[in-house]
Chains A and B, each alone.
Chain A
Amino acid sequence: MSDLDDVVKEFLVESHENLDRLDRELVALEKDPTSRETLGSIFRTIHTIKGTCGFLGFGKLESVAHVGENLLSRLRDGHLSLDAERTSALLAMVDAVRTMLSSIESSGTDGEQEYKTLIETLSRLQEKKAAAEVPPATTATLSAGTGSAPPEAEPAAAAAAASAGVTETTIRVDVGLLDKLMNLVGELVLARNQILQLTGSQKDPTLLGTTQRLNLITSELQEGVMKTRMQPIGNVWSRFPRVVRDLAISCGKKVRIEMEGNETDLDRTIIEAIKDPLTHLVRNSVDHGIETPDVRTKNRKPAEGRLLLRAYHEGGQVIIDIVDDGGGIDPEKVKRKAVERGLITPAQAQRMGDRDAVNLIFLPGFSTAERVSNISGRGVGMDVVKTNIEKIGGSIDIQSKPNEGTTVKIKIPLTLAIIPALIVTCAGDKYAIPQVSLLELLRLEGEHARKGIEFIHGTPVYRLRGRLLPLVSLSRELGLSDGTFPSANAHGECEAVNIVVLQADDRTFGLVVDGINDTEEIVVKPLGKQLRAITVYAGATIRGDGRVALILDVMGIAQRGGVISESRERTPQELEAEAENTQTTVHTLLLCSAGDKRRFAIPLSHVARLEEIQTSDVESAGGIEAVQYRGQIMPLIRLSSFLGCESAPDGDLLQVVVYSRGDRSIGLVVESILDIVEETLAVRGRAFRRGMIGTAVVQGKATELIDIESVISSIDPTFLGECAAVAVGP
C-alpha cells in the first residue's frame, strides 16, 4: 500500500466504510422495499464510488458500479420494485466492488477478474422485469430513453451537502497514534499516582491545590483518550444482517435480525477481540438454533425466526446478549453427547442440573449438531469462543429453554488497558486484584478470627451468611508460607484475618491475605514469555511508588487453590445463592425424594451440608449405620425406612443431608436431591405421622415437609438434648 498515493488511500478507506453501510442498508431495504430514503442513501453511496473510481481510472470497478447504479436509480424512481433476486444481485455487486477494492489495496489495480455475468445480470434485472412489472410501459421506455443523468445530479448534490456537515466535525486519526497516546496517558496516570502519594504528607496549600488539579485533569484526559479509542459495537454488528441473510437462505430458514444498543461503546482492542466469537455465535444461532419454517409452524411459532442482538452497560461492564427464539438446547441430549464423548461420567450427568448441562457445550471437543454443516458444528467452536472471551477478561453463559430459544450472555470489560484493582499485601509484597472479580471484603478480628474459620478435614472454610465459603490462603498458594493456616496465626497470637471474597467463573471463594490496602487504577502490562506459564498472574503494573506489583489472575488462583475442579460441578450452596438473590421473606427449601417418588422438603436453614458418601464407606456401629465424617462417627438415618416406604437399592453413592448441632452431625440419607427452591410456605395438610410438619405445595406439587428434629430425636433422643446441654453449659 506504500506506493499508493493519498487520494487512493482516502478513497479505499471511505469506500470500505460505505460498503459496510451498503450491506446493512440493502438488507433493511429488502424488508421495506418502499423506503425511498434508504434507496436514496444506497444510490448515493454507489454513485460516489463510481464517480471517484472513474476519476482515478479504475475502469472495471467503474463499469460494475455503473450498472448497479442504473438499477438502483430505477428502483429509487419507483420504476422497479426490489425483490429477493434484485437484492441478491445488488449484494453480489457490493461483493465484487469489495474484491476489486482489496485488489487495488494490494496491487494497485482493480484485478484480473471479469464481471461479465454480474454486469449482465444487473442489466437484465433492470430491463426485462421493468417492462413486466411497471404497468405503463411508456413510462419505462421514456425514462430508459432519457437516461440516468438528470436524476443523478440532484441526489449527488444532496449527498455533498449532507456530508459537508460531517467532515467538518470529524477527522481520521491513525490508530497507532491513538495507541501511543493511550500508553502515554497510562504513564501519566502512574506519575499522577506517585505525586499524589508524595503530597499526601505535605502541608503546602498551593502544592495540594495544584496536585488536586493535576489529579482531575489527568482523570479527564484519561477518560477522553479512552473515548477516542472507543467504537460503537454497531461497527461489528453492521455485517451481521448480511451474514444472517446469506446463512438463512442457504439453510432454507427465515430469520429476522434485530439489534439493540448499536451505539454501546467498547474499546477498539475489545471490538477486535469479540468480532470472531460474536460471528460464530450468530452463525450458530441461525444454523442450529432457529428451526426451519415448517418445524416452526408445527411448533406454533411464527415461520420467521427472530435473532436479537442486544448490548448495554451494566456495572462497568458491557453485556452482549444473543437471543434466538429457536429450538433451544436439549439438556438431556447435551448430557448424552458429553457422556458419549467421555467428557463427563454418567454419574455426573445424572446429578447435573439443566443449566450446567447446557454449559457443557463449552467443553473442548463438543458438538451437538446432528449433521455437520459447512458453517458450524465441527466441535471446534464454542470452546474457542469461550477461551477468546475469557482471554479479554469476559465471561459467557448460556441459558436455554427447549422450544423457546437460547440466550447467550457475554460480559466483557470496557477496556483492557487501565483497570481498577484492589491492592493487597501478602508476605510483605503488594499484589493487585482486578476489581471485576471482587465481591466483598471481610475482616475477622480477635475472637472471631480464631473461631470464625473452621476446618473440614484440614480445609479451611468460613460461614458467610449461612453458606460455606471455601478459603484459599494467598501466601500458601504462592509458596510463601509453609501452609499453616490462617497465616496470621503464625506468630502465635491471633491477628485479624483479612478475606477478599472473589468470584471465579461461577464460584465464590475467600482469598486470605495479610493486609488489604486500597483500590487503585492500574495500567496492565503483560508479563514476559518466561512468566506467562505461571497461571496465577494476569500481568504486572507499576505502582505509585515506582515499584512493580504483580496482578493476580483470579481464575488461576482459584484453579491452583482447587476451588474450581475439572468437572465444574456446582454445590447446592451456590444454587441456593442464586435462588437467594431475590428476597428474604420466603423459606429456602431443599427438595429431595425418597422411596416411591415422594417429594420431601427440608428447610435449608437446618441443613449444614449436602454430602455424597460412598456406599462402601458405610459402617455399622451399635446397630446403626454410620460413616466417618470430619473425624467423627456420623450416624445415618435412611429417610425411606424411617417413613416406612419402599426404598430403591443403593447406588455407588449415597446422597446425605447433613444436620449439625454443636460439633455433632447426623446424616439423613435420601434417594436424590431434586432442587433448592424458595417458597412462601403454606402448610396445607396437618401432619398425620411422626417426623412431618405437614404437606405444602412446592413447585406445583404436593410435598411433605420434614420435621428434622423429630426425625432425629426418634432415632437418637440424646442427640438434641446433649447438644442443648452443651450449648447452655459453661
Chain B
Amino acid sequence: MTRQSQYCTFQLGPLFLGVEVAKVQEVIRHQQITRVPLAPPEMRGLVNLRGQIVMAIDLRRRFEMPDRAATQLPTNVVLRTDDGAVSLLVDEIGDVLTVAEDLFEPSPETLRGIARELVRGVYKLRSQLLLILDTEKVMQIPAQATVRTH
C-alpha cells in the first residue's frame, strides 16, 4: 500500500488548491477585516479570531488574480505558522481529501509566473488536478517600497 497524505482543499478562481491538514488550525466563515494602510495589497488586513489578532492574506491577490465580486465573501483558512496564526482568504472551502503519494508530481517546467513560485506540486486526481500550495512562499510577501507621499 502506498503512503497517503491528507489535504484541506479549497477553490480559488479556476484553481483547486490544497494545504496539508496538519498546517490548518481552523476554517472560519468570513470575518470583518480591518485594513492595514501601507501594507502590501496582498495583506487584506487583520481579523479578530477569538481575541487573537490574525493577518489575512488574500490568496487571489497573491496569485495575481482579479478580486472577487463584492457580494462574494471569502472564507478564512487559518494556518499555524512559527510566527502565530495567519489566515488565507479563499473563494470556497472544499473537503479534506486523502490522496495517495504516488499521484504526486512536481509542477511542470512550463508552469510560469507566480503559480510556479507558489505551487509545490500537483496530485493527479481522477476528476481534476489538486495543486499543493507552498505555504512558506505564500507568507513571503515581497516587501514593497512604500511610496512616500512627499
Contact = CB atoms under 8 A, between A and B. Distances in A.
Interface of A: 187, 190, 427, 429, 476-480, 483, 525, 527-531, 533-534, 536-537, 540, 542, 546-550, 560, 562
Task: State the majority secondary structure of interface residues on A.
Answer: mixed
Contact of A483 (B46, B146, B150): B150
A345 to B, nearest CB: 24
B39 A548 contact: no
A540 B149 contact: no
Interface in B39-92: 39, 43, 45-48, 51-55, 83-84, 86
Contacts of B25: none
B55 A530 contact: yes
B143 interface: yes
B98 interface: no
B114 interface: no
B136 to A, nearest CB: 13
A540 B38 contact: no
5 contacts: A429-B34, A529-B83, A548-B46, A548-B48, A560-B148
Given A548-B46, A548-B48, A534 B38 contact: yes
B47 A534 contact: no
Nearest to A430: B34
Contact of B36 (A190, A427, A534, A547): A534
A695 B32 CA distance: 69
A546 B48 contact: yes
Given A429-B34, A483-B149, A528-B86, 18 more contacts: A476-B149, A477-B149, A478-B37, A479-B38, A479-B149, A525-B52, A525-B53, A528-B83, A530-B55, A531-B39, A534-B36, A540-B34, A540-B46, A547-B48, A548-B45, A548-B47, A549-B34, A560-B148
A528 B36 CA distance: 12
A473 to B, nearest CB: 9
Contacts of B116: none
Contacts of A547: 32, 34, 48
Given A190-B51, A542-B51, A478 B38 contact: yes
A193 to B, nearest CB: 13
B65 to A, nearest CB: 20
A540 B36 CA distance: 10
Given A187-B51, A528-B83, A540-B53, A429 B35 contact: yes
B130 to A, nearest CB: 27
A530 B43 CA distance: 9
B22 interface: no
A536 B150 contact: no
- Report which residue of B37, B45, B47 has the largest number of chain A beta carbons within 10 angstroms of its beta carbon: B37
A525 B37 CA distance: 18
A427 B34 CA distance: 12
B33 to A, nearest CB: 8
B147 interface: yes
Contact of A528 (B32, B34, B55, B143): B55
Q: Which 3 A-B pairs have the closest CB atoms?
A: A478-B37, A548-B34, A548-B46
Contact of A537 (B36, B47, B52, B146): B36
Interface string B6-48: 0000000000000000000000000010111111000101111
A560 B149 CA distance: 10
Contacts of A550: 34, 36, 46
